[in-house]
Structures are given as structure tokens and as C-alpha cells.
Amino acid sequence: MHDEQVEISVVIPVYDRASVVHEAIDSALAQDADGIEVLVVDDGSTDDTAEVVSRRYQDDSRVRVIRRVNGGPAAARNTGIAQARGGYLALLDSDDTWLPEYLSSQLAVLRSSGADLVIANAEWQKDDTGELLFDHSWFVFPDSVAAMCAGAWTLPSCTMLRMEVARRLGFEEAFRMCDDTDFMFRFNDAGYRSVPNPRVLVHYRAYRGGAAQLSADPVRLSLASYAVMRHHSQAHPEVFRRGPDFDRQIGELLLKAGNIHDARRHLYRLWRARPIAPTSVRLLAQAWLRREARDGGLAGAASESGSVTDNRHAPL
């Protein structure tokens, strides 16, 4: 492998996925593209993931297993990027799979468009049903800062980009979740260009076996997304100017999570937009009462949280 020119580096972060990661790896090795390497970054797994992968692919020089202490998905991606030898980076999560023409199709779109990053369509597999990523009601293509402020997001397993861009930007390791959303904020801020690939080339799966998957928890995922939005709100205050329905949803979420300070800000805006609506009055009153209870030192009061980033071991 070291004598062959590497064109595409596939980086697969993994944490406690010994029973399923081989499906992702096999789908990468089955690509019809030449000149690929597969970097499997074991992010301090507590099971035998690294050993299982090393044994299974010991005779395939395209696969390298890299071990590191647990640091989360962003840290694992950065570790893979640092050791990659290809001119293009393809991200793949440990429980997703690609169709055989994924890499060749993505590379063709990048070359023909002159873009820096391409996002393929995917089949979203959950509860034995399939839904296309680009048809998802919440999906906005992340091709501008305005789109990011409107709630755009992507999936790492659908993303391929030029390695020089990946190295220049890196992934923000402070975010244990939604580091890909933060990446796209900074990607667009830096003036890079992304394009869609409408072909359905990815099977996105919320794996529920073994270690719990944080991204399958909608509350934790929403809080992590809010942390990214808050991080970018100083440069782009419009990220929080998305109307009263948004303020209600976020305000209620933060109120339940105990982040009273931020909850009050959104619920106050909700009340300003709908001052006589019973829900607006009730939620704002709850936020004020929760604050007073906390400041008064009463038992059971919620503490104000300055960050919602999960710093524990996080499956990828």
C-alpha cells in the first residue's frame, strides 16, 4: 500500500463498536475507486474494537488501525486527518455504510464542480423504514452561513472534501457532538464552497447495540446543536432570530435542562412576539420562578449551565 499512490483517505472514528464497525470498513474496501486507504481511529474503546479490527484486516494493507485516548469524535477525526496520505478526505461513521460507487461519484462531483466539499444523498434507516436525507423535513443544505443560521446540518458519512481544507480547518474538539455542524459554520465563514450529490449512496443507521449512541438521543442532540449555535451567535446573531416557534422550542428545552439564563432569553423573546398567548406567559413565568428558586438556594432548584457539551466518553 505504501508503494501505491493514495488518492482518497477514509477516516472512520470508532468507540466500542467491535460488533458492527466491520460493516463500515467492508463498504469502504468494496469501493470501485482506486488508491484508497482506510484509517480506523479507535478512540479509547473499552471493548476489544481495535483488536477485532486488527485481526480481521491484518492481511489488507489498505487498512490502518490507529489507537488514541478517548477524546470524542472530533479528536478522532483530527487524528486520522493528521496521518492521512490522500489528497481527499472521506468521512465515515462506524455504523454507516456506503454503496460501492460512493467514492468515485463523490470524487467526480468534486472535480467537475471545482467545489471544496460534496455531500451525497443518503437513505436514513430507522425503525425498519427508509427516508432520504435530502427529503428530510429538517434538512437544509449547508452551503452558506445563512443556511447554517437557518438550521442547516449534514452527516459526516455523506461528506467528502479536499484534504487541504480539512487540515486547514480541523474539527473543534470541544464539541463531543455536532462537531460536523460547527465545521460547516467555519467552512462557510472561510469562503469555501460545497455542492450536493443527489445520488443516494449512503446508508445512515442509528446503531443501538453495544454502547449507547448519543446521536440517537434527540434531547442531548438538540442541546449539543444549541451549544454550537451559541458558540457562533456572537459573529452571527441571526442564528437565534428564527421566530417565536423556534424560541419556544429552544426555551422549553433549555428550561428542562436547567440552563435558566439562556431559557429566559428565548422565552422573553417569545413573550415579546406573543404577549397575550397563555403559553408565552406561562413559560416566561416558569423561567423567572426557576431563577428565583435557584438564587434563593431552595432545594431542587436548577443550576445555570454555561455549556451543554458532553465531556464524557462518547460513542461515535
Domain spans of the chain? Answer: 8-213, 243-295
Beta strand 8-14 pairing with 117-126: unpaired
Q: How far is CA 76 from CA 4, 140, 163, 212, in A?
A: 25, 26, 16, 18
Which residues, 6 or more positions from 128, have their beta carbon under 8 angstroms from its beta carbon? none
Beta strand 97-98 pairing with 194-205: antiparallel
Mean model confidence pLDDT for the chain: 88
In the three-class reduction of DSSP (H, G, I as helix; E, B as strand; rest coil), residue 277 is classed as coil
Other Cβ atoms less than 10 A from the Cβ of 270: the count is 26
On the question of pLDDT at 303 being above 70, the answer is no
On the question of pLDDT at 299 being above 70, the answer is no
User: In the structure, what pLDDT confidence band is assigned to residue 291 with cuts at 50, 70 and 90?
Assistant: low
Q: Which residues pair with 97 in a beta bridge?
A: 203
Q: Give the E-state strand segments of 167-242 in sequence order.
A: 194-205
More confident: 112 or 294: 112
Rounded-to-integer distance, Cα 316 and Cα 297, Å: 38
String of DSSP letters for 6-63: P-EEEEEEESS-TTTHHHHHHHHHT-S-SSEEEEEEEES-SSSHHHHHHHHTTT-TTE
Q: What is the mean pLDDT of residues 70-95?
A: 97
Could you read off the pLDDT of 28-61 as tens digits, one per residue?
Answer: 999 999 999 999 999 999 999 999 999 999 999 9
Decide: 176 and 73 in contact? Cβ < 8 Å. Answer: yes
Decide: 36 and 65 in contact? Cβ < 8 Å. Answer: no
* Residue 32, burial from CB neighbour count under 10 angstroms (0-12, 13-18, 19+): exposed
Q: What is the mean pLDDT of residues 227-251?
A: 96
- Domain 8-213's class? alpha beta
Helix or strand run (H / E) with residue 126: strand 117-126
Q: Which of 260, 255, 258 is nearest to 279 (CA)?
A: 255
Could you read off the pLDDT of 231-242 as tens digits, one per residue?
Answer: 999 999 999 999
Cell of 51: 483488536
Vertex 108: Cα angle to 87 and 32 (nearest 5): 80
